[in-house]
Structure 1
Amino acid sequence: MVLSTDLDKQFGFARGHLERLSGVFSRHVCQEDDDQITLAVAAARLAMQKAAVGPGEIDLVIGACGVPYQPLPTTAPLVMHRLGIPEGNAAAFDVNASCLSFLTAVDLAAGRIAVGQSRVALVFSAEIASRALPWKEQPDVAALFGDGAAAVVLTVAAERDSTIRASVMRTYPSAYEACEIGAGGTRFDFQRQPAEFAAHAVFRMDGKELFRITRRHFPGFVDELLAAAGWSPADVDLVVPHQASPLALKHMIQQTGMPGARVVNIAARFGNQIAASIPTALDIAWAEGRITKGMRLLLLGTSAGVSFGGMAIEV
């Protein structure tokens, strides 16, 4: 765990400066001898242990990382291999919807299970968000992020098992450039455009533009999700949101009208873990006893692109 005061000292800021800018006072940072695959495998093994599922039972592995291990091949096959899942026993691929990758992957896995294409699916999100941060240009943005990983196992539902009541995603691409890492794909040629490639290899975010589009559209999106589930706001027992930032969570609570006591808020302690934020918050809520059988959960998030996503679940 790295405190914001540690980063103040490292980057030459006055003590307390980064916490005042970001609202985040601590976050996990991956050690030099660890990597994204190590984090993913550790999270996956814990999920498999809790679900009492062995490697030979898994027939679908979906990597749900906002930033992959490398551009090609995808991350999921390597995680599948490290977990000892027999070759040819499972399909393994990635889904990338930025910070909404976990929800998108769970939705896809549930759909495949529902139509009989899979029986046991593993979805993992592992992020090393501490790399490629704009410490010189946007320290307030860089201080928001932390590393982390989480995973879930989905199986064919038995009677009285958890149920997904609704899943909705809506995209507003007019703000496409408000949150991005431009290099690493085909946009810039490393051989012909080394300066452009390097300049766009660091994360950039326009917080004001993201706030503008979220304020305009997010409340209506939440209404649409609740209507799809057949719920009213009063029916929701717990909201598990993407931990974009402490300020973003404060605005979300105000916009949706959900009481703060019903919102899992770990942003100040863990920072923004990109796609791993929602499953990490979900796991912490379980561990703290905030989720019990019969509860109605609302998983909510925003992502670069810009997209809003949500899932209504009866536990």
Structure 2
Amino acid sequence: MDQERPRSTPLRIVATGEYVPVRRVGSDAFDRRWQKPDGWTERHVGIRHRQHAGDDESSSMMAAMAAQAALERAGLRADEIDAIISVGGVMEQAIPCTAVLVQRRLGLSSTGTPAFDVNATCLGFPVALDLVAPALTSGRYRRVLIVAGEVASAGLDWDDTDTAGLFGDGGAAVILEAGAGDEASCLLATHMETHSEGAEYCQVRACGTRMRLADDVDAYARASRFEMAGRATYRLAAQRLPGFMHTLFARAGVEARDLACLIPHQASVKALDHLQRALGLPPQVLVRILETHGNQMAASIPLALHHAIERGALRRGDLFAMVGSGAGLSFAGAVLRY
């Protein structure tokens, strides 16, 4: 995502889909676990309930189910997709990538359909969108499926009152295709920044090559849990966000007041409130699903997009933006006409 303002790119969001895990977990369950007063967790994290995946609800399963829902909405078959991109904070397994497992679940094992992952934590969807847009407009692909299946609950420390109640699981899918030159749907601009002074603020230290199971099993197990320095993350994000948003909107040639919707990553209620205040947005413009979904990592942005479309808050021809922060600390965003 370079710094020069690009031309708008004809690009159309064909359909979206969602998968909701069966198990709903109310915030009162955390109150009981932590021996807190009734309503403490909901007040603390701003979430009434979220879903947690069961043993049979893997990342690829939830992503594939969301993809099937999107395909049904679009009136398409799975074999009419030219590429599958999976985005996620944590892959289902180290090798192969999650997109391969989604391809198989969609019945495409023998088709050769390209399937690969984009690893940008919570920002996977806008990053994948930016990467795939030139391939669509050049004719390399006609139609691309971007999916997210997140099982955040697999890596939480259940005794951490700052993080355990914040996250939820779920699946999302978005089908994209190149827009026709005579229609309004387009991608106006994208922008991304990474500020690696925050690299340790949100992390899972194990499950890669940095720590090895054979060296210290107990240390490896501890490092397999999600760690977040919430206050430091918020401070750095609050410092960098205004400049980031200014650059994104300037590249698109729009202002916040021009947007029908702003679709953010559902990081936390504090982050959402700050974004709304910083941009001076009316409440109805900022799309919020945090209260009933929690922070679903890379699924948050495409799921919030899905809900905005399903609720009628986003209609064809509307101008909207997607924006978020992720581990790194990184920001990414896109401005589109739906």
How high is the TM-score relative to the length of structure 2?
Answer: 0.89
Matched, 1:91 2:138: no
Instruction: Classify the secondary structure of the residue corresponding to 1:70.
Output: coil
Aligned to 1:232: 255
Question: How far 1:260 sits from its partner (Å)?
Answer: 2.3
Displacement, 1:248?
1.0
Q: Which runs of at least 4 in structure 1 moved beyond 4 Å after TM superposition? A: none
**What is the one-letter code of the residue matched to 1:29?**
H
For the residues of structure 2 that align with 1:68 and 1:33, how far apart are their CA atoms?
Answer: 16
Which residue is equivalent to 1:142? Answer: 164
Superposed counterparts of 1:70-219, under 5 Å: 70-136=93-159, 138-158=160-180, 159-160=182-183, 162-219=185-242
Structure 1, 303-312 or 55-64: larger mean CA deviation? 55-64
Q: Distance in 2 between matches of 1:276 and 1:35?
A: 14
Q: Is the 8 A contact 1:64 1:101 kept in 2?
A: yes
Q: Alpha-carbon deviations, 1:43-96, whole Å to 9, x = none?
A: 011111122221222121101111110111100011101101253431110001
Distance 1:254 1:241 in 2: 14
* Paired residue secondary structure (1:15): coil
Distance in 2 (CA, whole Å) between partners of 1:160 and 1:28 is 38
Q: CA deviation at 1:312?
A: 0.2
Cα distance in 1, alignment partners of residues 207 and 285 from structure 2? 39
How many angstroms apart in 1 are the aligned matches of 2:154 and 2:34?
15
Report if the CA contact (8 A) 1:132-1:202 is conserved. yes
Secondary structure at the aligned position of 2:149 is classed as strand
* 301, 309, 331: which one aligns with 1:286: 309
2:54 aligns to what SS in structure 1? coil
SS of 2:116's equivalent in the other structure is strand
Which residue number in structure 1 is paired with residue 76 of structure 2?
53
What secondary structure does 1:301 align onto? strand
Contact 2:60–2:99 (CA under 8 A) maintained in structure 1: no
Partner secondary structure for residue 103 of structure 2: helix
Q: Specify the alignment match of 2:295 in structure 1.
A: 272
Paired position in structure 1 for 2:37:
14
Q: What whole-Å deviation, never above 9, does each CA across 1:194-241 have from its counterpart, x for those lacking one?
A: 232112111111111111111111011001000111112221121000
Secondary structure, counterpart of 2:127 in structure 1: helix
Q: CA RMSD in A?
A: 1.4
User: In the alignment, which of 245, 252, 255 is matched to residue 222 of structure 1?
Assistant: 245
Identify unmatched segments of 5+ residues in structure 1: none
The separation in 1 between residues aligned to 2:31 and 2:185, in whole angstroms, is 44
The farther-off stretch of 83-92 and 210-219 is: 83-92
Amino acid at match of 1:30: A
The question of whether the paired residues in 2 share the 8 Å contact of 1:215 and 1:255 is answered with no
Distance 1:41 1:131 in 2: 19
Question: Whole-Å Cα distance in 2 between the matches of residues 305 and 263 of structure 1?
Answer: 24
Between the aligned partners of 2:43 and 2:255, the Cα distance in structure 1 is 36
1:260 counterpart SS class: coil
Cα distance in structure 1, aligned partners of 2:243 and 2:143: 34
Q: Give the distance between the partners of 1:295 and 1:198, measured in 2 at CA.
A: 47
Unaligned runs of 5+ in 2: 1-23
Give 1:12 shift.
3.8
User: Residue 261 of structure 1: SS of its match in structure 2?
Assistant: coil
Query: 1:9-62: per-residue Cα shift (whole Å, max 9, x none)?
Result: 245433222112211111111123322221111001111112222122212110
CA distance, structure 2, for counterparts of residue 6 and residue 212 of structure 1: 30
Judge which range, 175-184 or 138-147, deviates more: 138-147
53-62 or 241-250: bigger deviation: 53-62
Q: Distance in 2 between matches of 1:91 and 1:240?
A: 28
For 1:2, the equivalent position in structure 2 comes to: 25
- By how many angstroms is 1:161 displaced? 5.0
Among the aligned pairs, what percent are the same residue?
37
The one of 34, 57, 63 equivalent to 1:34 is 57
Q: Deviations over 1:273-300 (max 9, x none)?
A: 0000011111111111101122100101
